[in-house]
Structure 1
Amino acid sequence: MTPQAVIFDIGNVLIEWQPERYYDRIIGPDRRRAMFAEVDLHGMNDLVDRGGDFRDIIYAEAERNPEWSAEIRMWHDNWLDLATPVIERSLATLRALRSQGVPVFALTNFGIGTFELALERYAFLEEFDRRYISGHLGVAKPDPQIYQLVEGDCGLPPEALLFTDDRAENIDAAASRGWQTHLFDGPQGWEQRLVDAKLLPKS
């Protein structure tokens, strides 16, 4: 079936999300590895992505880990330096789809506060026809409920949706509902998948 809508993840599909790289630059790889081994920073971020208060969650984690408090607060205070740069070829692909009249949605694990920050810097996030943000929905990928919410809102059958994400567990959850999927491992492969689906012309 030819997809009737294309759904993008955002982190590591349209915007690079590599907190470890930021900390390697700021505090050095050895201290970064030690901090990430002692503090579940990605688990902390999951709470934000499910709708928790951005500042409160990060600062509470900093208080629980006084030896790393300054570094943990950077996750909040310097967040835009963690979420960069734009993956330009993916952005071009998004815009090419829209120029072809293909509906384009976002389905992303993103906090309420962090998405507000991202909108200030990355104006293209306004270009989606529909946005499904985990923080606003109160549920995050790969929970089946978030995919059900997308289906119910957009009104399209699962097999009409083509979804790309860089995490296999999120792709597997979508595929189990009948979505068409593509595990994102770079913009070139994603672009080719869309050509194969006859959503974009051959370059």
Structure 2
Amino acid sequence: MAIQAVIFDIGNVLLRWQPELYYDALIGEARRREMFAEVDLHGMNERIDAGEDFRAVVYDTAAAHPRWAEQIRHWHDRWPELAAPEIPESGETLRELRRNGVPVFALSNIGEATMALAEAAYPVLKDFDRRYVSGLMGVTKPDPRIYEMVEADCGLAPETLLFTDDRADNIAAAAARGWQTHLFEGPEGWAACLRAHGLLSEGDDT
């Protein structure tokens, strides 16, 4: 069955999401490793992705770890810099799909407030036809329920959805529901996948 919508993850697909690199530049790799060993910052972020309040979670974590409090607050106060830079080739691919009349959705583990910051900093994120934000949905990938919720909302059959994500577990969960999938390892491979499906032509700029 032909693809009727293309679904993008955001982190490491449209925006680089490697907070460690931000902190390496801020405090040096050795101190960053020490901080991440003492504080479960990715676990903190998962709470935000699941719908907890962005500022409260970050600031409460900072208060619980006074040695690193200033640096932890950066997760909230300077979030657009943590999620930088944009991956421009992926953004152009998204826009080209829309120019070709292909519906394009976002499905991301991201908080409501962080998504608002991301859209303000990176206008490409406003180009989606539909946005599925885990913080609003109350469930995160790879829970099968989030994919079921997408299907119910868009009304499209699973096999007509083509999804890219940089995490193999998220891809596997989508594939288990019958979605067509592509593990994102770089914008060139993603563009090649879309061309193979006839959604981009060889002349499209990516």
Deviation at 1:2, TM superposition (A): 2.1
The aligned runs of 1:7-22 (5 Å cut-off) are: 7-22=7-22
Task: Provide the TM-score with structure 1 as the length reference.
Answer: 0.98
Work out the CA distance in 2 between the residues paired with 1:123 and 1:90. 13
**What TM-score do the two structures reach when normalised by structure 2?**
0.97
TM-superposed CA distance for 1:4, in Å, is 0.8
Alpha-carbon distance in 2 for matches of 1:61, 1:145: 29
SS in 1 for 2:73: helix
Which stretch shifts more, 113-122 or 164-173? 113-122
Aligned counterparts of 1:120 and 1:102: Cα–Cα separation in 2: 24
For structure 1, list consecutive stretches of 5 or more residues without a partner in the other structure. Answer: none
1:170 aligns to what? 170
Aligned to 2:127: 127
Amino acid at match of 1:157: A
The residue number in structure 2 matching 1:94 is 94
Q: What's 1:83 paired with?
A: 83
| CA–CA distance in structure 2, aligned partners of residues 35 and 186 of structure 1 | 29
Cα displacement (A) at 1:147: 0.3
Instruction: Report matched runs for 1:15-30 at 5 Å.
Output: 15-30=15-30
**Alpha-carbon distance, 1:123 to partner:** 1.6
**3-state secondary structure, aligned to 2:181:** strand
Residues of 2 paired with 1:64 and 1:50: CA distance? 21
- Distance in 2, matches of 1:120 and 1:194, equals 27
Aligned counterparts of 2:76 and 2:127: Cα–Cα separation in 1: 26
**For residues 10-32 of structure 1, what are the alpha-carbon distances to aligned partners after superposition, in whole Å with 9 as ceiling and x for unaligned?**
11100111100000000000000
SS at match of 2:105: strand
Q: Could you tell me which amino acid in structure 2 is paired with residue 191 of structure 1?
A: A
In 1, distance between residues paired with 2:81 and 2:199? 34
Aligned twin of 1:5: 5
- One-letter identity of the residue aligned with 2:159: E
CA contact (8 A) 1:63 1:69 kept: yes
- Alignment partner of 1:101: what SS? coil
User: Where has structure 1 moved over 2 Å in runs of 4 or more?
Assistant: none
Matched, 1:64 2:70: no
Tell me how far apart the structure 2 counterparts of residues 80 and 199 of structure 1 sit (CA, whole Å). 31
Aligned residues: 203
Secondary structure at the residue paired with 1:171?
helix
Aligned position for 2:51: 51
Distance in 1 (CA, whole Å) between partners of 2:172 and 2:103 is: 22
What is residue 158 of structure 1 aligned with on the other side?
158
Amino acid at match of 1:73: R
CA distance in 2, matches of 1:185, 1:65: 35
Partner AA of 2:192 in structure 1:
Q
- Deviations, residues 129-150 of structure 1 (Å, cap 9, x unaligned): 1110001111111111110000
Q: What percentage of residue pairs aligned between the two structures are identical?
A: 62
SS of the aligned residue for 2:7 comes to: strand
Q: Cα RMSD between the aligned structures?
A: 0.8
Q: For the residues of structure 1 that align with 2:127 and 2:70, how far apart are their CA atoms?
A: 36
Checking the alignment, whether the CA contact within 8 Å between 1:163 and 1:182 is kept in structure 2 is: yes
Q: Secondary structure at the match of 2:107?
A: strand
